[in-house]
Amino acid sequence: MNKEYVLITGATSGIGYELMLLFAKNKYNLLLVSRNKEKLKNIKTKIEKKYKIHIEYLDIDLSESDSAEKVYYFITNNKLNISILINNSGFGLKGKFEENDLQKYEEMVNLNILTLTKLTYLVLQDMKKRKKGKILNLASVAAFLPGPYMSVYFATKAYVLSFSEALFFENSADNITITALCPGSTKTNFASVAGFKSKDSFNKNAMSASQVALIGYKGLMKGKRVVIAGGLNNFSVFFIKFIPNRLIGKMILRFNNSSSAN
């Protein structure tokens, strides 16, 4: 029988790295996928030895539209059995919609939506045959909100949440769970990649990546549908239901704008 593996995209930093550590500590074999070959190689050397597990890795740009097929080819070619899929890779971009580079939006939509959807599709086929599997998709608290000055990013996360919840209901009878993890601001490379010049207001109340990963890990293992990370984020998501979007939009506009002003 093929060995079981956890496939994690974006395991070289932030939330994905912390999720990788949790699975390694719990003795899961890992398939790690992201762009930085050197970092992937170092993780393999360090973590395999420390936790006595097996790690495969694939360095690939998941914003390329055929990258999910390439990852799946690697899986079948190496006869890996993916029991858990973590679609974590993603990035955001702040600024006025029409002033940003269109190419960046294409990469974001490809990475945050297209590759996530295709990888889920491909891996789910095998999970269905085995009638067993778990999928964790990185959405965000942003999924519940309009996102002025981060319009495309917020919209990609709304897609991830909607898609994941629909699949949860489609697959629960087959012993396959799909969990959407919704963090709020988290201290990772995300803010600098997204173009926040000062991390101060972004990092105000931000959680650590290890806290978020642990909440996501537990929620995934329990087969939860939606997991919102942290008390404050849970409180916010509950209360925004009672606040009209015209006010929420203005608040987000100020937050996303003020975060770059200093």
Ligand X SMILES: NC(=O)c1ccc[n+]([C@@H]2O[C@H](COP(=O)([O-])OP(=O)(O)OC[C@H]3O[C@@H](n4cnc5c(N)ncnc54)[C@H](OP(=O)(O)O)[C@@H]3O)[C@@H](O)[C@H]2O)c1
Q: Which residues are the active-site residues? A: 153, 157
> Which residue in 90, 73, 238 sits closest to 160, CA to CA?
90
Quote the least distance from Cβ 186 to ligand X, whole Å: 4
Answer yes or no: are the C-beta atoms of 5 and 83 closer than 8 Å: yes
Q: Is 148 in the site for ligand X (CB under 6 A)?
A: no
Give the x/- contact pattern for ligand X in 63-102, rule: CB under 6 A.
x------------------------xxxxx----------
Q: Is 137 in the site for ligand X (CB under 6 A)?
A: no
Q: Is 29 in the site for ligand X (CB under 6 A)?
A: no
Q: Is 135 in the site for ligand X (CB under 6 A)?
A: no
Q: Which is nearer to ligand X, 3 or 121 (CB)?
A: 121
Residues with Cβ within 8 Å of 150's Cβ and at least 6 positions away in sequence, in order, are: 92, 93, 94, 142, 194, 252, 256
Quote the least distance from Cβ 116 to ligand X, whole Å: 9
Quote the least distance from Cβ 192 to ligand X, whole Å: 8
Q: Is 179 in the site for ligand X (CB under 6 A)?
A: no
Which of 185, 201, 233, 259 is the binder for ligand X (CB under 6 A)?
Answer: 185
Quote the least distance from Cβ 135 to ligand X, whole Å: 14
Q: Is 233 in the site for ligand X (CB under 6 A)?
A: no
User: Which of 28-36, 42-50, 168-176, 235-243 is the region at the interface with ligand X (rule: CB under 6 A)?
Assistant: 28-36
Quote the least distance from Cβ 191 to ligand X, whole Å: 7
Q: Is 174 in the site for ligand X (CB under 6 A)?
A: no
What is the rounded CA–CA span in Å between residue 130 and residue 206? 39
DSSP letter string, the chain: -PPEEEEEESTTSHHHHHHHHHHHHTT-EEEEEES-HHHHHHHHHHHHHHHT--EEEEE--TTSTTHHHHHHHHHHHTT-EEEEEEE-------S-GGGS-HHHHHHHHIIIIIIHHHHHHHHHHHHHHHT-EEEEEE--GGGGS--TTSHHHHHHHHHHHHHHHHHHHHHGGGTEEEEEEE--SEESSHHHHHT-S--HHHHTTPEEHHHHHHHHHHHHHTT-SEEE-SHHHHHHHHHHTTS-HHHHHHHHHHHHHHHHH-
Number of residues engaging ligand X in binding (CB under 6 A):
31
Q: Which is nearer to ligand X, 39 or 130 (CB)?
A: 39
Which of 72, 163, 190, 255 is the binder for ligand X (CB under 6 A)?
Answer: 190
Which of 6, 7, 15, 215 is the binder for ligand X (CB under 6 A)?
Answer: 15
Contact residues toward ligand X (CB under 6 A) are 9-16, 34-36, 39, 61-63, 88-92, 111, 138, 140, 183, 185-186, 188-190, 193, 209
